[in-house]
Structure 1
């Protein structure tokens, strides 16, 4: 079959490929991936079938029907993978943002019925059609930033009926536009308001009334927030163990505000990712890497402490040196990160977490794909992988995080198809 799409004259073709496809990138491998100067990528339908230097391009595979994309000496890389978002929710908390700027604390706002409780009320009150409309709006925004695969957590229903609805909305949104959506069940975000002060009973309800009704083939991951004021390490261990028995992959929000041991516990259970990790110590990171055999990915969320005006950022440099695989995400949500700009997260990771530009780019592509179980399909450019790639308007990889807050995306290709702006 002839090429259906060709991206040519790539000034730097960033493959994110190290020749080790069976494990996430860690240590030196996070920055030692293969880059091809003056390269090309050829696709047949939705798959990459050839890539390499322009001098090796087989022009006999071109036909009048081949779509030609001229990168004109600019950077080309895999589509971005957003591995931690709370995509589906009702309302917003812009009013609370103003109150925070005026000095009110989150606990004061929560005590007055705000915070996550206000989002829960708005989400429960919204129709499925309204939630879907907003999810599609947000996905269009992500696509403009070059996101081609995205994880979507539930977690703003906090009752069985609404949580199941949020998962179905996320799946419907994935079917109605080109960005791939991977649903994650985060019913265990915090106890629902009807279970105030009874976190164990709430988890028991989820384990008996929700998890058995979910299909791991459609909703592959179960997540929990392990933190003071949410769920303890012991409760999280029991809940995740039950989820694993039912065939789900495991994730955890942990060490966001305190080092409680949730990351190590989840890694010992085989979690695919540990998320936030702002208070995970370098010694704890080394233990996570050891107990997981380097398979558990730490998903770091640099825009959260930025938006919340916190001083503590995850020590990404120390994690890398400890051999812990790391990924980056926005944590898009209405309370602590109302931003879809994953490029800004790349820049802040370099400024505040010690990443180099090459490490940060691998963290939003290859390792982000590992963090949501999509490494066989996306996250790097290689023969047989899905043809998700971006043409940027910068000539070098090092320049990407330098342009703080800018969107460098010139063209987005998903499944071998050029996307409109």
Structure 2
């Protein structure tokens, strides 16, 4: 990027520019750094093509780089911040599970519904029956909704096929959806979501052996990460360890759904194997979180999903405050899916994380930008407003960072810029 090139887009007079800069470069923010990042009062952000060119106070703006083709965007009185990174969704699926909502209201638990053939298995049946065109149309509709909330990068997990052809189709659809609109999509393979009916008699070990033998070899270059649900009713700890070890040998990055409903030790196990993130963590103890932070030197991110216990009417929320104090980087996500979180509102997740997990507004914003990018291995590319990074930027209809979680459930987004393009 030439230092003298005219700006293609210039956002001016922002009340606050939330840079998310600070701490070790391109690493997640943990401990005091999670709230110690830099805010620029009365600032600007300048872009050249799809990259950020300059960020600073208005008093330091290089006006010589404003040319006749520069598009000016007035952000007077408003917050400017990085685009949101949604680091845990189940984007591609068939049907919905509205018919199970009343069962939840009557007191049936997540595992009760799963054991009766509902839950994930209900969505598996609908997804297997859906055509590729139907799945793609649904994914594109959901991505438009995510963009409305300011999401500029999104992870999309498979996991509702549980057979070779459907699982590969889900990854293929996620990639195609990412290519057909502006929001960047990062596919993750969650074939080990639960054991499918075809392997019920053979058991979890036989099923992961099948995935390793028949499926993962076809995912090279298609999905960066492999994930597994380590939980009662899904995959036990020893099988999850074996599967992740073998997937890592095949060159995949690692993730895990763990400590959602019980403390089985899945988060510590996956972190010891070098997992990029450990997700859910509602039953992860602060002591175990501190051990993970020390063991991984802050490289493994805990992805917390506050809307899931809210929707499932559970009392246990992840101890986010203690995790941050113990040095573990924290990201936030909706966990958008048809069963335990049919919501794309990441701003609501930010508010609930402050109310129920003890995060401050600045920590919560870090959790949906820079730390969420780290959970996808993308911190060098997005998640903060720094020269050279991708120009994914939001202009909000609020005047300060403190207002972001305060307006409960509202969408503060006024403008979404993805790759330097204003939609």
Q: TM-score of the superposition, structure 2-length normalised?
A: 0.97
Map residues 24-35 of structure 1 onto 2, 5 A cutoff: 24-35=28-39
CA distance in 2, matches of 1:278, 1:362: 19
Partner residue, 2:208 = 203
Partner residue, 1:92 = 96
Deviations 1:285-327 (A, max 9, x none): 0111111111000000000000000000000011011100110
Partner residue, 1:214 = 219
Query: Could you say what secondary structure the match of 2:27 adopts?
Result: coil
CA distance in 2, matches of 1:328, 1:66: 35
Shift of 1:108: 4.7
Distance 1:326 1:139, change over 3 A: same
CA distance in 2, matches of 1:398, 1:362: 13
1:39 and 2:43 aligned:
yes
* Residue of structure 2 aligned with 1:275, choices 279, 283, 287: 279
Shift of 1:145: 0.3
Partner residue, 2:60 = 56
**Does structure 1 retain, via aligned residues, the 8 Å contact 2:259–2:266?**
yes
Distance 1:308 1:139, change over 3 A: same
1:325 and 2:340 aligned:
no
CA distance in 2, matches of 1:267, 1:300: 15
CA distance in 2, matches of 1:84, 1:318: 22
Task: Identify which range, 273-282 or 193-202, moves more after superposition.
Answer: 193-202
1:387 and 2:391 aligned:
yes
Deviations 1:272-292 (A, max 9, x none): 000000000011101111111
CA distance in 1, matches of 2:163, 2:283: 30
1:311 and 2:350 aligned:
no
Partner residue, 1:240 = 244
Partner residue, 2:421 = 417
* Residue of structure 1 aligned with 2:338, choices 313, 334, 341: 334
CA distance in 2, matches of 1:222, 1:409: 32
Query: Could you say what secondary structure the match of 1:271 adopts?
Result: coil
Query: Could you say what secondary structure the match of 2:137 adopts?
Result: helix
Partner residue, 2:6 = 2
* Residue of structure 1 aligned with 2:152, choices 139, 148, 152: 148
Task: Identify which range, 66-75 or 78-87, moves more after superposition.
Answer: 66-75
CA distance in 2, matches of 1:57, 1:322: 39
Distance 1:128 1:27, change over 3 A: same
Partner residue, 1:264 = 268
Q: Size of the alignment, in residue pairs?
A: 418
CA distance in 1, matches of 2:299, 2:115: 40
* Residue of structure 1 aligned with 2:137, choices 133, 143, 166: 133
1:173 and 2:173 aligned:
no
Partner residue, 1:73 = 77
Q: TM-score of the superposition, structure 1-length normalised?
A: 0.98
Query: Could you say what secondary structure the match of 1:299 adopts?
Result: strand
CA distance in 2, matches of 1:329, 1:200: 30
Shift of 1:104: 3.8
Shift of 1:111: 4.6
5+ unaligned residues in a row in structure 2: which ranges? Answer: none
1:123 and 2:123 aligned:
no
5+ unaligned residues in a row in structure 1: which ranges? Answer: none
1:230 and 2:234 aligned:
yes
Query: Could you say what secondary structure the match of 1:324 adopts?
Result: coil
CA distance in 2, matches of 1:298, 1:18: 19
CA distance in 2, matches of 1:29, 1:147: 23
Deviations 1:62-101 (A, max 9, x none): 1121111100121000000000000000000011112322
Deviations 1:11-39 (A, max 9, x none): 00000000521421100000000110000
Partner residue, 1:295 = 299
Shift of 1:254: 0.4
Deviations 1:312-369 (A, max 9, x none): 0000011011100110000000000000000000000000000000000000000000
**Does structure 1 retain, via aligned residues, the 8 Å contact 2:110–2:312?**
no
**Does structure 1 retain, via aligned residues, the 8 Å contact 2:6–2:65?**
yes
Shift of 1:107: 4.6
Shift of 1:134: 0.3
Shift of 1:112: 4.2
